[in-house]
Every structure is written in C-alpha cells, then in structure tokens.
Structure 1
Amino acid sequence: MKRTNTQKVKLGLFVIFGTIIFVVAVYLIGQRQNMFDKTYTISSYFQNVNGLQRGNNVRYSGINIGTVRDINMLNDSTIRVDMNIQEGIIAHIKKNAIATIGSDGLVGNMIVNIVPGRGESELINDGDIIESFSKIGADDILSTLSVGSENAAILTADLLDVTSAMLNGKGTVGLLLNDTVMAQDLKSSVKNLKTASYHASQTIDELKDIIASLKTNDDSVLGMIMNDTISGERLKNVVVNLENSSLEIEKVIAQTNELIAETKESQGAYNYLVKDTSLVNGLKSTLKNIDEGTAKFNENMEALKHNFLFRGYFKKLEREQKKEAKQLAN
C-alpha cells in the first residue's frame, strides 16, 4: 500500500516536532545539570548525607549555584560529596565556607547548602575541599522522641506506683497524708515556729533601738565610750598605764623573789635569826625571865603600898589622880 503525500507530510512534521522537543529537553536538562557551562569542582566530607543523591541542587546563600556531581563512601564514617559549581559563582566563595545538607522545603529533595564563613579568607579554587557541618536529621529526631516517649511511659508508671502507695498510707509522705494526729502536730509546730520568729523579730527590733540609742546618747557610760573620742583616748591611756603597772609589779615581784632567795642562801643576820635554834632558845629564856621579874616587881610595889612608911605617899598620889580625873570629866 503506497503512502500518499499527505501522510508523508504528517510523518515529516511529527519527526520535526519530536526532534525539536528532544533538543529542547536535552538543553533544559543539560542547562540544569550545567552540562554546557564551564564549572569548577569542590568537595566536602560528611558522616551522613541523609538521602542526598547525584544531580541534587547546591545552593549558596539561598541561590542555586550547581549540582551534586558524585557521592563516594570512603569508609564506614566518611562520605565524600563532589559538587559542580558555576564559574561565575566561584569568585564569591571563600575557603572558610561551610557545607551542610538540608531539605528543599519540608518534604522536598535533599540539597547541599554552602554557608559563607566568618572573617577574611582566600577564594576557593578548583578541586578544593571545604569544611562540613552535619545537622540533626529527621531520623535522629524521631529516634530521640521515641526514647523520650519510652522514658516518659516508665516515669508515668513509677509515678502511679508512688501515688498509689501514698494513698494507701505507705512511706513517710503517705503517713503525713493519712495521719491526722501528725498533721495536728505539724500545725502546732508551724504555729510555734511562727511565734518564735515573731518574738525573734521583736528582739531584733529592740536590739536595733538599743544600738541606735547608744550611738546617739552620750549621757550613758557606754554611749560616751562609743561616741566621745576624748574619753576613748583616756580609756586607752588607762589601759596602757595598767599594762605598764602590771609589768612593773611583775618586775618588783621578780626582784623580791630574788631577794628572798638570796636571803635564804646568805649567811647574814636574818639567816642567823631564822636558822640558829640556840639563839631562839636564849630569847625564849630571856623573855621568861623578864616576865618573872615583872611579876615580882609588881608584888614588891604592892607590898610597898601597904608598908607604913610609903602608905601616905601612895594615898596622896591616888587622891591627886582622882582629882585630875574629875577635872578632865568636867
């Protein structure tokens, strides 16, 4: 069956439109993947790429500047991500920039965000490696929430056990909640504490008033001592004089002790009087003789008074003594 010209024209138009669509698609895809532009390659190391894939976008300060070229796992904890960066953007990226992995929106594809570094630094070159920062992923957050929910469930069960034990009167807190006698004792104790604190406050106020009166009242001895500088100086002088006197007394006592010691050890009159027993006995006998002589003298005088030769003399002497006594009395 031969094709007509109309069919041939339609086939030709279809091939032309299909070719145009294919070229446009290839251009758009190549444009997105930077296949037709000159690019620079930079790399960064991550511990977890969180689902990042080849061809995902690379952004710098929120602007798309390239795509992920390759993802290679170097070991169990290090993943290398190579990125194609547009030539015009390289002049704005410095070596202290930091690469992070995030999501494009809440549920979008994973992307690489390059954050400018702080301070001055050199511009990045082709093949350089920049620092990376791993953010907490959604899986880590969910894992943490799971552990937290489990701990919360365990804590709730423990709280229920504690609450039931308290309601049943077990333990110290349960006893306080259920024992009315102890509750009354606690109320009494609190009341006594309040009373004691009130009296303590009153006492403190009175002490403050006393101290204030001492500071302002110069009539009392303590107030004069506290406020009168002249009296304070005099008191200081008295204390100094007392200290000096005590020192002098100590010196005198020391000298007296030395003198007594020297007297005890010397061979002078004192030592002779104290230690010589014969002298003591002689003094005793002398005193005894004096006493006996005095007694005999008194007896002789009494005898003379009764002698007829001296009787008149003694009577005359007695009358004169009585006369003088009367004159003194008048």
Structure 2
Amino acid sequence: MKKSNSQKINLGLFVIISTLFLIIALYFIGNRQNLFSKNFKISAVFNNVNGLILGNNVRYSGINVGTVKNINMINDTTICVDMLIDEKILKHIKQNAVAGISSDGLVGSMVINIAPEKDYAPPLIPGDTIKSYSKISTNDMLETLNTTNDNISLLTSDLLKITTSIKTGDGTLGMLINDPELAYNLKKTVANLKTASISASNSLLEFNKIIKTINFDESMAGVLLSDSISAIQMKSIITNLDKSSIGIDSVISNINDLVLNVKNGEGTLDYMVNDTVLVNNIDETVKNIKEGSIRLNENLEALKHNFLFRGYFRKLERQKAKEAKKNN
C-alpha cells in the first residue's frame, strides 16, 4: 500500500514537473514567435523568397522584431509575405523602409531584414506593404562563378597560346623578344629619335632667340609680322607677281613659237636669217649706200664752193648763227 502511494506521488511530481517544463517551453517558443505580445501585420512583395518558410525571423536594423506569418504566391513572379511585427517597434519603422531576404549566416535559416532609409517618411500603419529588393541567390552566384571559371579557362588557354607563340618567335612581338639584331636596330632607332628630338629642341631655342631679337617696331621683319596693312600689300605684290609670271610664260611661249617658225623656214625673217645669198646682197647694198653717201657729201661740199650756190649756203649759215644766239 505504501509502495503504491509513493509511486502515485512520484507520478504526480513527474506530471507536474513535465507540465511546468511544457508551459515554460511553450512560453519561450510563444514569446519567440511573438504569440504573447501585441503585434501588427505588414507585408512585402518579392520575386523570389529564396527558401523562406513560416516562422522565420524578421529583423529591423539587425534586431529581431517579428516573424513570418504567411507566404502567398500571387502569380508566377510575385510572392506576398505577411509579417507579424512587435507593436513597440511600430513607431520606429517608416513607410520608406525596404525589406530583403538573406540567410542567417552561411548555413542558417532565411530571415527578412528590414533596412531604414535616411529620408524622412511617416511611420508605418498596420497592414501597409513596404518596398522590397531581391538579393542574388546562391544558385545564381554559383552559376555566375561557373561561367567566370569557364571564361578564365578560355582566357588561360589563349594566354598560353600567345606565350608559346612569343617563345617560338612567331609574330612581331616574338621577333622583338628573340631577335637580337631587331632589338639592336630598335635601340638604334630610339637613339636616333632621341638625337633628332634634341636637335629639334635646339632649333626651337635658336628660333626663339631669333624671334626675340626682332624689332617689331622698326625692322622690316617686324613690320611684315605685325602690320596688317603691310601684310595686305605684300599679298597684293605676290598676287601681281603671280599674274606677271603667267604673262611672262605666255610671252615666252609666243617667242618660242616665233623662233620655231623661224627655224622651220616660215616667213621673211627666216629667209633673211637663213639665206646666205640675201645676206651677201644686203652687205653689198649697205656698202653701196655708204659709198653713195660719201660721194653725196663730196658733191654737196663742191656745191658749197660753186659761185652759183655759194650765196644760198651762206644764207643758211647766217640763219643757223641767229638761231644759236637766240638759244644762248
């Protein structure tokens, strides 16, 4: 009988203790799930919830403020997530807050993180829908990394081909690296360029010295460089010289045509130049004319001494003497 009573007492104590543990566990679980506090509901719309399930935590600025209450799929690209938020946080969350889904650590469960915005906005009202953004999922990251690895593999293969070609001396770069004569010529070319640049620099310095020595007020060079009127006149002179050169070219062309005609035996001039008989006749004619002029002078002198014409010639001499006195 006593043994039966002790068993009953032990059983009663076990039931009481178990019930207390159950109540405490339910309390902590309910408190964790915000079942025993005043809550308000807000929503957010996502394209992909990335494995989010009911009961996952909702955090605001890194602090647990609620849990996921419901997940509804509106269509193939829109999922609405309802959240229960502690009423004490209501005054801190603004209408411009943004919700995003991320993992709790590397292998933890998914959580909703609500981030505040810096701009001013009114507080949330229970039932509001806040903005959301979707992060890149792990699968997308792995696919991107896979594509990147493939591209790196192709790039490495191409680089290996390029380095092999360079080693074997194929192409210009390979020749530059492996051909010592080409390297020497290139080095010599660079040295020549350096020398040329030094010479050009010295020439510029000399030219600057010449420019500095020009008297822009008095020298001809200064007038030509600074006086616009002189520049216009010089331009006019050059234009006239150009026109004159064209005229001279035309005259020379005509002279060449004339000389060509003379050479070809056309006209009287060629006949006079090339016919030796005519030239001899002209010489004889000139001699005869010269002899005739001498004889004519002798006849005139004889007439001056003739008594018939002596008075006439004296009269002419007196007239010449009078004209000479008037002129003097």
Interval of TM-score (by shorter of Structure 1 and Structure 2) = 0.5 to 0.7
Deviations 1:36-59 (CA, angstroms, capped at 9, x unpaired): 222211111112222222111111
8 Å CA contact retained: 2:223, 2:230: no
Question: Considering only aligned residues, what root-mean-square deviation do their CA atoms show, in Å?
Answer: 3.6
What residue is the counterpart of 2:306 in the other structure? 307
Cα deviations by residue, 1:129-168 (Å, 9 ceiling, x for unpaired): 1110112233333322222122111111111111112222
Per the TM alignment, residue 191 of structure 1 is displaced from its structure 2 partner at its CA by 2.0
Superposition pairs for residues 186-265 of structure 1, below 5 Å? 186-214=186-214, 220-223=219-222
- Equivalent residue for 1:24? 24
Q: Does 1:58 align with 2:58?
A: yes
What one-letter code is carried by the residue in structure 2 that aligns with 1:60? Y
Q: 1:217 to 1:100 in 2, by over 3 A?
A: same
The equivalent of 2:125 in structure 1 is 125
Listed as ranges, the gaps of 5+ residues in structure 2 are: 241-292, 318-328
Describe the shift of the 1:161–1:301 C-alpha distance in structure 2 as closer, same or farther (beyond 3 A).
Answer: closer
SS at match of 2:108: coil
Aligned equivalent of 1:175: 175
Q: Aligned in 2, Cα 1:233/1:43: closer, same or farther, shift over 3 Å?
A: closer
Distance in structure 2 (CA, Å) of the matches to 1:10 and 1:74: 55
Match status 1:159 vs 2:155: no
In 2: Cα distance, 1:41 partner to 1:311 partner: 162
Equivalenced residue count is 259
Deviation at 1:189, TM superposition (A): 1.9
Cα deviation, residue 234, structure 1: 9.0
The 1:298/1:124 distance shift into structure 2, 3 A limit, reads same
Change (3 A) 1:136 1:213: farther
Query: How big is the shift at 1:99?
Result: 0.3
CA distance in 1, matches of 2:186, 2:229: 57
Contact 1:44 1:132 in 2 (8 A): yes
How far off is 1:225 after superposition? 7.1
Residue 250 (structure 2) aligns with: none
Is 1:38 the equivalent of 2:38?
yes
Give CA-to-partner distance per residue, 1:183-230, whole Å, 9 cap, x none: 33222222221121111111111222222333x776644347778xxx
Tell me which amino acid in the other structure corresponds to 1:117: E
User: Hey, what's the Cα distance between the residues in 2 that align with 1:302 and 1:21?
Assistant: 180
Whole-angstrom distance in 2 between the partners of 1:211 and 1:299: 77
Higher deviation after alignment, 117-126 or 25-34:
117-126
Q: CA deviation at 1:233?
A: 9.5
Residue number in structure 1 paired with 2:282: none
Amino acid at match of 1:63: I
Give secondary structure in 1 for the equivalent of 2:58.
strand
CA contact (8 A) 1:96 1:118 kept: no
Q: Identity over the aligned pairs, expressed in percent? A: 52
Task: Please tell me the residue identity of whatever aligns with 1:158.
Answer: D
* Alpha-carbon distance in structure 2 between the residues aligned to 1:106 and 1:168: 49
Equivalent residue number for residue 263 of structure 2: none
Note the alpha carbon deviations across 1:286-327, whole angstroms, 9 max, x for none: xxxxxxxxx9x9788544334257779989x99xxxxxxxxx
Equivalent-residue separation in structure 1 for 2:165 and 2:151 (angstroms): 21
Distance 1:170 1:233 in 2: 61
CA distance in 2, matches of 1:223, 1:9: 129
Q: Does the CA-based 8 Å contact 2:45-2:132 persist in structure 1? A: yes
Distance in 2, matches of 1:150 and 1:80, equals: 37
2:147 is aligned with 1:147: yes
